[in-house]
Amino acid sequence: MSSIPSAKRIDSTLALLRNPYGFIPDTCSDLESDLFETRILFQKTICMTGAAAAKIFYSENRLVRAGSMPGRIQKTLLGEAGIQGLDGKAHHHRKRMFMSLMASERIEALENTTRDLLDRYARDWETTDKVVLYDEVREILTRAACAWSGVPLPEEEVETRTAQMTALFQDAGAVGWKHWGARLARHRAERWAAGIIERVRDGSLQPGQESAAHVVATWRDLNGKLLTPKVAAVELLNVVRPIVAVSVFIVQAAHALHRHSHWQQKLKDDKEQLEYFVQEVRRLYPFFPAVAARVKSDFEWRGYRFSEGHRVLLDLYGTNTDARSWNAPQEFRPERFKDREENPYDFISQGGGDHHTNHRCPGEWIVISQMKAFCDYFVNAIDYDVLDQDLELDTGELPPLPKSRFILCNIKLRQ
Ligand code: HEM
């Protein structure tokens, strides 16, 4: 058996922080290997890239999630004891809870809520000089996510809850005060969500049976018991928070519409193109760089030993832009999705494998439908100009956005 190629440095934490999207694929390319070994946060870590590596990563019996996530990400982005750290039967059972929220009529209902909100917001945009798109979209999505999830959102709380949800996904990986702000946001958001769960359980709040608040509050684990208020709060936030996070992809889509402006006409003329366009944004614009797991028990892959307990990082962005799976991978070419056969391992912005049995994101259909609704609105419902601004994506932050947060002006609703 050969030993796994090693990165030059002993600990690669800084290199990863400096170059979150390039570190794994660039090191793999230097070593001419799909995997290498290093230390991250002083722990032995195997980093892997590409569709073949993703297939191994998502083969259930080899890797587990318990104990794989760094504490700082659990205390901010994800919360503790939620689905992300479950394995085997407990995971499958909890996953059923999330998948039960994803019926196509429900996804359409969320899309309709967003469209109504867009009409309302656009009327205000017409009377304003400049609109910071990211801020507006986050607020729209916070309102839509809460309404759809059966979570009451009094008008005076909109700003606070939007800021809390944003801190969870935007400042989780930050260092210093921003990170501590995200921890505080997690603490407050969980207290809020636990309060909602308790009100559903004592009958003082009665959201629709199909809403996330109702489903999570009444879900019973394999032992037949209700989730504790703390775990239920984490899971309710696992619905509301990522819907707000779709704002990142929406600003990235607006960015792509601006940079590749000939697509505006294509999307106007042909709705089918919307699907290809948003898929290409999801493939090419960076969001989460990698996902983590641990080796359950020793196994061998391509003659390399994976030893029990080692952490494994799967490169999401590098896999989406791997030249073995994608022609001209760095070019923005939505038409590549026409007639493309789906492969659960080569396009993994939201994880890979199977939605029901693996940890693949259950929210993928929501993301696609929301992105389509916004892009459709941008090209068919309003006219606008993009203010002269620096539109480089700031890769110093995760996920990367233009520093200006994408400013629009001269917005007019079409008749
Ligand atoms: C898991 C990305 C939106 C709910 C994940 C994973 C990624 C991801 C990378 C981990 C996959 C893995 O561990 O293998 C994203 C991105 C989104 C998004 C980039 C865009 C904003 C959503 C939405 C929802 C959602 C809209 C729900 C409404 C979840 C849940 C999990 C998850 C519950 C855990 C699944 C499990 O552990 O089995 N997502 N997601 N996400 N996502 Fe999303």
In short, whether 301's Cβ falls inside 6 Å of ligand 1 is no
Q: Whose CA is nearest to atom 15 of ligand 1?
A: 350
Range list of β-strands (E), 85-207? 130-132
* Token representation of residue 348: 């993994």
- Please determine, for the modelled complex, whether the ipTM score is greater than 0.90: yes
What is the CATH number that goes with domain 6-413?
A: 1.10.630.10
In the numeric block, the tokens 């998502």 are attached to: 58
Q: Three-state SS for 129?
A: coil
Residue 239 beta carbon below 6 angstroms from any ligand 1 atom:
yes
Q: Are 345 and 352 spatial neighbours (Cβ–Cβ below 8 Å)?
A: yes
Beta bridge partners of 312: 46, 293
- Give 125-146 pLDDT, tens digit per residue: 999 999 999 999 999 999 999 9
Q: Is the CB of 58 under 6 A from ligand 1?
A: no
Q: Which atom of ligand 1 is nearest to the CA of 57?
A: 14
Retrieve residue 23's tokens: 């570190």
CA of 243 to the centre of ligand 1 (A): 10
**Residue 188 Cα to ligand 1 middle (Å):** 21
For residue range 77-124, list pLDDT tens digits in order. Answer: 888 889 999 999 999 999 999 999 999 999 999 999 999 999 999 999
Query: What is residue 377's predicted lDDT score, i.e. its pLDDT?
Result: 97
pLDDT digits (tens, 9 = 90+) for 238-288: 999 999 999 999 999 999 999 999 999 999 988 889 999 999 999 999 999
Contact between residue 172 and residue 76 where contact means Cβ atoms under 8 Å apart: yes
Where do we find the tokens 């992300």?
84
> What angle in degrees, to the nearest 10, is found between the helix axes of 272-284 and 364-380?
120
The model's confidence at residue 347, banded by pLDDT at 50, 70 and 90, is very high
Buried/exposed code over 16-32 (b: 16+ C-beta within 10 A; e: otherwise) = beeebbbbbbebbeeee
- In testing the pocket of ligand 1, which one of 350, 358, 367 has its CB within 8 Å of the most ligand atoms? 350
Q: Per-residue pLDDT averaged across 326-339, rounded?
A: 97
Any idea what DSSP says for residue 144?
Answer: H
Q: What DSSP designation does 402 have?
A: B
Does residue 231 surpass a pLDDT of 80?
Answer: yes
Distance from the alpha carbon of residue 242 to the mean position of ligand 1, in angstroms:
7
Q: What pLDDT was estimated at residue 131?
A: 97
Could you tell which of 149, 361, 365, 366 is best to mutate to test the pocket of ligand 1, judged by most ligand atoms within 8 Å of the CB? 361
47 is in an annotated binding site: no
Q: What is the pLDDT of residues 149-180, one digit of tens each?
A: 999 999 999 999 999 999 999 987 777 788 88
Q: How far is the CA of 282 from the centre of ligand 1 (A)?
A: 13
The secondary structure of 214-260 as a DSSP string is HHHHH-B-TTSPBPPHHHHHHHHHHHHHHHHHHHHHHHHHHHHHHHT
Ligand 1 mean position, distance from CA 363 (Å): 6
Cβ proximity of 172 and 75 under 8 Å: no
